[in-house]
A = this chain, B = another copy of it.
């Protein structure tokens, strides 16, 4: 039997992105829980909305990963109260594969509000893609101080992060079982 696959989508391509570290932590913890965690980095897609044939080939690979996945984690910063455009371009490039699978959302911010407004907008996009956005959501505030190396230094953040991952895994199992039994 294969392990359930839960990719972590890193939703910003900006140079210097702090979200990369948080996404790395998510992959590592999913693996330590026995899941097939792997990183999907939006920077590896670099599309602009007017796709070339080469773009189409890359996006085809993304669509296959999505279809094979049992659930998702998305880690992304908040820009102007919403998500990065490159994340939206990637999410919009396929459709059916997301259906009836859970998604855990991690917002990353250098400010105090932790990107909660991004999470709200992204949750609505996830619902449009027929995913199940799970609770709790994770909000990494003041990211420069909150994450050090491969550890969360903000008290309580690690616990919420693990609850989110457990919730994604719980839904991934529940919905997979139901999809397979019809």
Contacts and interface: CB of A to CB of B under 8 A. Distances in A.
Contacts of A139: 112-113
A127 B116 contact: no
A92 interface: yes
Nearest to A102: B132
Most chain B beta-carbon neighbours within 10 Å: one of A12, A89, A129, A175: A89
Interface string A157-174: 000000000000010011
Interface residues of A, number: 50
A87 interface: yes
Interface string A4-24: 000000001111000000000
Sort A-B residue pairs by CB-CB distance and give the 6 closest, nearest first.
Answer: A174-B178, A85-B89, A85-B88, A13-B49, A49-B86, A85-B85
Interface of A: 12-15, 42-43, 46-50, 79-92, 112-114, 116-117, 120-121, 123-125, 127-130, 132-133, 135, 139, 141, 170, 173-175, 177-178
